[in-house]
């Protein structure tokens, strides 16, 4: 199966290089793309810097993909990978125990996968996940929050086999004046909608992090 991928960057990248990049990204070291040109354009720019959307074609036949948004997985599988790669403030006993519990019960071994697909932890997504770890929102509220603002999915190439399959097909320059404003608007919309959620009050019957730990909730629990 062949499809197009886009990567937003401050430079043109004709041949993505295996084994380089930041270690502490959402799913670890790899090459992060999206199937959405507009998202790539937003990710390419900064407040005062233009960028490029690099376009690629990729044949995924025979490649093994971990799709964290498929029915096989829950948001806790995504979160377990995220907290083991990104830096979270674990400044309470509960958040530290949450880290331990999710890592022990929901962390997926990604070593055998060529590609990983899932949510991208923009600043807003990251803050929503932090609130969940600190017991401020329930898992149903976290699931709703991750769909606010249509912040999109990403696909990460992580194996040498995957890197050998990606082919550069061109680049487009994108301006900060246009796309950074769109990026801000998308993030601001997500945050505004999040503030409208009833997250200040405890919702009886819903699964909060402390209940997940105390009740020993496992991945096959139908409440997830």
- pTM metric for this prediction: 0.92
Residue 224 in any domain: the answer is: no
Number of domains in the chain: 1
Question: Would you state the pLDDT for residue 187?
Answer: 86
Neighbours of 112 (CB within 10 A): 8
Note down the domain range covering 172. 2-214
Residue 222 in any domain: the answer is: no
Residue 152 in any domain: the answer is: yes
As a whole number of Å, the CA-based R_g of the chain is 18
Of 134, 159, 141, residue with least CA distance to 28: 159
Residue 219 in any domain: the answer is: no
Residue 161 in any domain: the answer is: yes
Residue 146 in any domain: the answer is: yes
* Cα 46 to Cα 5: distance, rounded to the nearest angstrom: 21
* Cα 8 to Cα 160: distance, rounded to the nearest angstrom: 21
CA 21 to chain centre: 16
Report residue 131 as tokens. 């609130």
Residue 112 in any domain: the answer is: yes
Question: Would you state the pLDDT for residue 151?
Answer: 64
Query: Positive or negative, the Cα torsion across 78, 81, 86, 88?
Result: positive
Low-confidence ranges of the chain (pLDDT < 70): 149, 151, 198-200
User: pLDDT tens digits for 170-218?
Assistant: 999 999 999 999 999 988 888 888 888 766 677 888 999 999 999 999 9
Residue 124 in any domain: the answer is: yes
Question: Would you state the pLDDT for residue 149?
Answer: 66
* Cα 42 to Cα 183: distance, rounded to the nearest angstrom: 5
Phi first, then psi, for residue 56 (nearest 5°) are -135, 155
């Amino acid at each position: 199966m062949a499809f197009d991928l886009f990567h937003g960057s401050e430079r043109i990248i004709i041949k993505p290089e295996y084994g380089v990049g930041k270690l502490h990204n959402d799913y670890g070291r790899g090459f992060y793309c999206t199937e959405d040109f507009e998202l790539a354009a937003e990710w390419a720019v900064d407040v005062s810097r233009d960028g490029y959307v690099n376009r690629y074609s990729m044949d995924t036949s025979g490649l093994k993909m971990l799709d964290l948004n498929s029915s096989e997985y829950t948001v806790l599988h995504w979160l377990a990978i995220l907290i083991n790669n990104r830096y979270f403030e674990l400044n309470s006993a509960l958040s530290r125990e949450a880290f331990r519990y999710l890592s022990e019960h929901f962390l997926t071994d990604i070593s055998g996968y060529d590609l990983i697909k899932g949510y991208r932890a923009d600043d807003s997504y990251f803050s929503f996940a932090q609130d969940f770890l600190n017991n401020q929102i329930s898992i149903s509220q976290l699931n709703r929050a991750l769909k606010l603002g249509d912040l999109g999915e990403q696909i990460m190439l992580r194996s040498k086999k995957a890197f050998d399959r990606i082919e550069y097909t061109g680049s487009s320059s994108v301006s900060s004046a246009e796309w950074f404003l769109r990026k801000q608007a998308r993030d601001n919309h997500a945050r505004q909608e999040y503030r409208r959620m009833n997250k200040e009050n405890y919702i009886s019957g819903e699964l909060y992090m402390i209940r997940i730990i105390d009740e020993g909730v496992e991945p096959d629990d139908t409440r997830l």
